Structure 1
């Protein structure tokens, strides 16, 4: 099983109010045609007579064969086992962009041409609210029912994961260069220390940034309030004025951290695994107050023609052996804790070591400090985004 760097574009950012305002209008401002009732979401399922499906995913988000990059071992194994051909399309580079690509069909009650899609959970929430995805049949997914990580089983936007199944997960926490800084960071408030002035970055995307900062205030992010949000904004505005924050970033925060221009930053766990391969002095911290656990999830859009085939594919990836092979390649938090034992038993020393990496398999202490944030509602989004973007300079 090969180790390769994850894509830097998966955790997309909300860069402008325009995209989020459109989402808010659809989900919360009463556009009747946008919502699809449960009885209107399914098409005649051709799965039994047409053994194929189309799957849209992000670039570099699946295992590949080192010697034959066009091959995807875990996906090839599914084809061989089931006879189902998979048209795997790496077309998702940004949540908003992909929303714009397929929303006209979904609003018009037309097929999207895709049987399975992977988007970030904060965007999944909008699809679920709009009725744009179908309930999955767990009778076809015994592995999901058995092996899905309990921490990921019931986010606020989809209790019981009725419509979504996590593909990969990750943690938003703090990264820092311990050698350059000369000390440890333990809490969110440590970012505001005087010796870090001008050497801190925060994530620019609202959905990516807010939860960790709220946790620093002791907020239960599964049920945060608008007051909690505005308190965070007040605090960040203060830190901007005093010159604490060097800039707000997308995934390019990694360049600042590697160069030493930044000593501490909001960061994603999967990125730090890759950075540490070249610089073991870079640390990732789940603060004492906690950190946000997030996912990018699989969904079956309305009127998909191969729903049963898609559900079988999702369940294939919840076999511990398959999940282990995928985790060894993408290096994000594995959604199948049972895959840890599979990796630990590997005769390859580097592969077996992944089983002990808490950024792939969080230990008990870390798990107690992880939570899935309540998503921003449609009614909240436009106003919240306007305020946050003004602070972040978007």
Structure 2
């Protein structure tokens, strides 16, 4: 599959700022920081029923949000979704783009949330695995179901029944995306599998892999014949051995955080592991950039809206969630951010807004495409610390 529908913008995306430092070369790699046991926080478990603040939403028309960069349509535009929320509710939104990495944001807030202290945020956006972690620690407030009817009515089926929050009690997906392979058709032929990406001799020294452990290791587990959602210690080590071999064979140019598509367009890299929304945006400037569903499948992930403990405007946060699960609003947002829209009915609304995006499977994937996706196994504290440390040891060379 090589969707060629161009996006209408090419600014830095939500996923484009991960790791913040661009491609990570093997020498002097900053990934060594990942050797720290991020999630070893003794005594951090909280009870959200007792660690909560008085909701002052009725008296204060205010809302404080933390999100990723480039993950909303232009807020200065009077026709934007953000302006529509403000105008329809009277709520003033303090919108912060201060999430650059899940673990980095966790490190900023873990002491407060782990001690039942406020983080001065009413809504935060975390990727699935971190959302599950925070919910499990009791750091997230349950949503009032009657306040978010659009969420329960309109969320797409593929995002229902997450094992870590099956009833949508604590989270609402903001946007979703797919991890697969991108290649530059002007520089190389199609790459059909992740195994080809890490072994094909004509690609040696001309590929990048993503610097987030779960993204890359999910595919390597697949290549090793394991299920990323349920793998053993031996299977994990086999997947690590595949990565070690790819590095030793000099197959990789680098591990990439935020500029892999610039290198792909420029010809320094001819193929890479990539996020779907980034590829759609890149196609606007370079139609030679193609996205491929690898034979191993696609990794499916979501970034999720959640209300942290001691938030003082939960009611206003729930209004925000319900507003963005209106199909017309969701379509307008999807036309800008170019990731998978989590809202059923938005595709029909996109017909009115921008028919060129309606049939793009990276925004509105069909059931067959979604059936070919996989997720990464939930890790406990010990596993997470071990796997992140071992990942850092291998990627640092």
Q: Give the TM-score normalised by structure 1.
A: 0.89
Instruction: Give me the whole-angstrom Cα distance separating, in 2, the residues matched to 1:197 and 1:19.
Output: 27
Query: Where do residues 94-133 of structure 1 align in structure 2 (5 Å cutoff)?
Result: 94-133=101-140
Question: Which of 359, 367, 372 lines up with 1:356 in the alignment?
Answer: 359
Question: Which of 309, 317, 325 lines up with 2:324 in the alignment?
Answer: 317
Equivalent in the alignment of 1:25: 40
Instruction: Give me the whole-angstrom Cα distance separating, in 1, the residues matched to 2:213 and 2:79.
Output: 34
Question: Which of 8, 33, 42 lines up with 1:3 in the alignment?
Answer: 8
Instruction: Give me the whole-angstrom Cα distance separating, in 2, the residues matched to 1:326 and 1:213.
Output: 33
Once the two structures are superposed, residues 81-135 of structure 1 have per-residue CA deviations (whole angstroms, 9 ceiling, x without a partner) of: 2232222222223323322332232122122111111122222222112111111
Structure 1 alignment gaps of length 5 or more: none
Q: What's the C-alpha RMSD, in Å, of the aligned pairs?
A: 2.2
Instruction: Give me the whole-angstrom Cα distance separating, in 1, the residues matched to 2:254 and 2:31.
Output: 17
Instruction: Give me the whole-angstrom Cα distance separating, in 2, the residues matched to 1:97 and 1:241.
Output: 29
SS in 1 for 2:167: helix
Instruction: Give me the whole-angstrom Cα distance separating, in 1, the residues matched to 2:35 and 2:299.
Output: 21
- Indicate if the aligned counterparts of 1:337 and 1:361 stay in contact, CA closer than 8 A: no
1:392 aligns with 2:375: no
Equivalent in the alignment of 2:46: 36
Q: Give the TM-score normalised by structure 2.
A: 0.89
Equivalent in the alignment of 1:297: 304
SS in 2 for 1:48: coil
The 3 A distance-change label for structure 1 pair 9 and 317 is closer
Equivalent in the alignment of 2:294: 287
The 3 A distance-change label for structure 1 pair 249 and 331 is same
Equivalent in the alignment of 1:367: 370
1:63 to partner: Cα distance: 0.9
Question: Which of 154, 174, 190 lines up with 1:184 in the alignment?
Answer: 190
Instruction: Give me the whole-angstrom Cα distance separating, in 2, the residues matched to 1:318 and 1:291.
Output: 25
Equivalent in the alignment of 1:376: 379
Structure 2 alignment gaps of length 5 or more: 1-6, 21-29
Question: Which of 244, 253, 274 lines up with 1:237 in the alignment?
Answer: 244
User: Which structure has the highest helix share of the two?
Assistant: 1
- Indicate if the aligned counterparts of 1:172 and 1:212 stay in contact, CA closer than 8 A: no
Question: Which of 166, 173, 178 lines up with 2:173 in the alignment?
Answer: 166
